[in-house]
Amino acid sequence: MLTSMKMDDRQQSLAVVGGRRLGDNLIEMVLAENARRAGYRTVVFSTILLELADWFPGRRISPSLDLDDAGNLDELAGFSRILYPKPPREQVRDRVAGRWLAYGQVFAAHDTRVRAMVRVCREMLRLEQVTAENGIRPPSSLQWRKHGRRVCLHPTSAEESKNWPAARFSILAARLEQAGFEPVFIMSAAELEGWRPLLGDRFPVRGFASIADCAAFLYESGFFIGNDSGGGHLASCLHIPVLSIHGRRGKARQWRPGWGCVEVVTPTFNLIGSSLRQRCWKYFLTVRKVEQAFYRLTKQATGLDSPFLHGSA
């Protein structure tokens, strides 16, 4: 049975306890944005999003909490509601009883995670006016898709098993360049040393010191192509057209980027067996298939307008 908030809770405080990765946190901001619009005093606990604090003006963001440390629950003592996908541990259940909303119970296999957050807002927070946006606001000094032919290629992810081969990314970049696009590889500064030898020196490779620096570059780019990663979610919530490369169709349905113009590409064969799938899926996804998916994306993106109005709440 769902635990939900009552209408008279609207002026109470609400905590969103963020996950470990950028994509999770950007999606979870949908919860915070809807609660904020409905009048709740909200705080998001996410160290990652502190790097994007200027991109969420007026939103309260605090360092992440390790919920395995019972002492961190003191940080949540003043909140009337706590949003987290899983139930609290048995050892601390009494301390958060009646305030903890384990919203993962409303997730459905056919939903993207962004749509799932919208459902949480309707079914658990009982909000009538709900948005799928997460409240991100790029600085007004930046121009959306200023470099319309620039394609950001993101060959990395949090797990090596999610990565399409670097050599195929390089072949794809060459084909895009022949078609008149401007491919550039992007990643964190910490990843540069390991990836430069894999990608060669034919195309620019940019390593960003912060997520905010990467966001600024993405926001002024025309397209994004990358593995299942936080980079794809970041580009998506900035409404940059995204081609997302996934190893499994089922997982792609849930974890594809959930904003704007998105195309997903998976191998022709949906491999069965976890170990085999993780090792081999990438070799069944050809450059040609990814290239074709990109051109479908470009057709979708024709005539797009910026969804951002600077200065709005």
Place of tokens 């113009």: 261
Distance separating alpha carbons of residues 3 and 5, to the nearest angstrom? 7
For the chain, percent of residues with pLDDT exceeding 70: 92
What average pLDDT does this structure show over 18-34?
96
Write the pLDDT tens digit of every residue in 48-70. 999 999 999 999 999 999 887 77
Q: C-alpha angle 20/151/158, rounded to 5°? A: 20
pLDDT at 235 over 60: yes
User: Please, which pLDDT band fits residue 271 given cuts at 50, 70 and 90?
Assistant: low
Residue type present at position 13: S
Residue 224 confidence class, pLDDT cut points 50, 70, 90: very high
CATH code of the region 147-301: 3.40.50.2000
CATH class entry, domain 7-123: alpha beta
Distance CA 91, CA 97 (A): 12
Query: Among 72-81, 132-141, 204-213, 281-290, which is the least confidently predicted range?
Result: 72-81
Confidence band for 268, pLDDT divided at 50, 70 and 90? confident
pLDDT at position 120 is 95
Q: Would you say the pTM of this structure is higher than 0.75?
A: yes
Q: What is the arithmetic mean of pLDDT over 15-29? A: 95
- Give the residue with greater pLDDT, 90 vs 206: 206
What pLDDT is stored for residue 84 in this prediction?
Answer: 94
Ordered by start, the domain boundaries in the chain are: 7-123, 147-301
Q: How far apart are alpha carbons 150 and 191 in whole angstroms?
A: 21
**Average per-residue pLDDT for the chain:** 90
Take residue 259 and report the two structure tokens written for it: 């904003």
Say which range, 94-98, 127-131, 249-253, 271-275, has the weakest mean pLDDT: 271-275
Q: How far apart are the first and last CA of the chain?
A: 35
Average pLDDT over residues 109-129: 93
DSSP 99: T
Query: In the 8-state DSSP scheme, what is residue 183?
Result: E
Judge if 7-123 and 147-301 fold alike in CATH terms.
yes
**How confident is the model over 160-218, as pLDDT tens digits?**
889 999 999 999 999 999 999 999 999 999 999 999 899 988 999 999 999 999 999 99
Report the SS3 class of residue 260: coil
